[in-house]
């Protein structure tokens, strides 16, 4: 009978141990959107973030990149290109989908360009003046009041992380309650057998 008590304690330890390890792993993982936090504007850098989702080998993407490079001489102090290659990088492709979903846009291909609160799907010379005007307009705004889609991507991922942590906490609490009930039942059975064997 003494062995049953030890067996119940050992079983409880083996049931709780994996959940403790899982909870620690969940807190140490980073999401793809956390990597975008580095793209947020710092107080020293007042340049506008120009988000370019592109595909390696895409001719329109290469055209857009060349054009952005060509205007850096005149407008380089106004913007910086934050580049995401989506054809060969699954995380970047998922990020583009999240961004499009948050913006309520249907992105049919690349390049997908976002400057402040405006976006362009594809690239054409007819977009150039509009993009320059948007860069200047966003640049003239107070940095703290600028619309930056990545701030919203980060907020939505933070909300999902909070709900995951709450869910994980309630799972652990439920497990502890189950272990207490099973342990109590096992201990009750042990005492019942002990009292009937006397």
pLDDT level of residue 10 (50, 70, 90 thresholds): low
pLDDT for res 67? 97
pLDDT for res 167? 59
Q: Which residue has the higher pLDDT, 163 or 73?
A: 73
Mean pLDDT confidence for 152-177: 63
- What is the full DSSP assignment across 82-101? EEEE-SS-HHHHHHHHHHHH
**CATH class label, 34-155:** alpha beta
Torsion of CA 145, 148, 154, 156, to 10 degrees: 90
**How many angstroms separate the most distant Cα atoms in the chain?**
96
pLDDT for res 193? 73
Where do the structural domains in the chain lie, given as residue ranges?
34-155
pLDDT level of residue 132 (50, 70, 90 thresholds): very high
Mean pLDDT confidence for 35-63: 79
The per-residue pLDDT of the chain, averaged, comes to: 79
pLDDT for res 25? 44
pLDDT level of residue 27 (50, 70, 90 thresholds): very low
- CA proximity to 49, closest of 104, 129, 119: 119
Q: Is the pTM of this model over 0.95?
A: no
């Amino acid at each position: 009978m003494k062995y049953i008590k030890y067996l119940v304690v050992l079983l409880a330890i083996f049931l709780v141990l994996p959940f403790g390890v899982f909870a620690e792993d969940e807190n140490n993982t980073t999401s793809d959107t956390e990597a975008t936090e580095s793209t947020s504007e710092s107080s020293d850098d007042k340049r506008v973030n120009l988000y370019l989702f592109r595909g390696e080998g895409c001719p329109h993407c290469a055209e857009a990149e060349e054009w952005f490079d060509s205007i850096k001489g005149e407008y380089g102090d106004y913007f910086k290109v934050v580049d995401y290659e989506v054809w060969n990088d699954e995380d970047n492709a998922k990020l583009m989908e999240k961004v499009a979903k948050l913006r309520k846009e249907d992105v049919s291909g690349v390049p997908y360009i976002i400057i402040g609160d405006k976006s362009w799907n594809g690239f054409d010379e007819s977009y150039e003046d509009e993009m320059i005007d948007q860069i200047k307009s966003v640049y003239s705004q107070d940095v703290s009041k600028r619309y930056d889609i990545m701030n919203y991507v980060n907020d939505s991922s933070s909300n999902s992380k909070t709900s995951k942590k709450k869910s994980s906490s309630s799972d652990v609490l439920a497990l502890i309650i189950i272990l207490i009930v099973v342990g109590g039942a096992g201990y009750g059975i042990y005492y019942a057998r002990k009292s009937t064997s006397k």
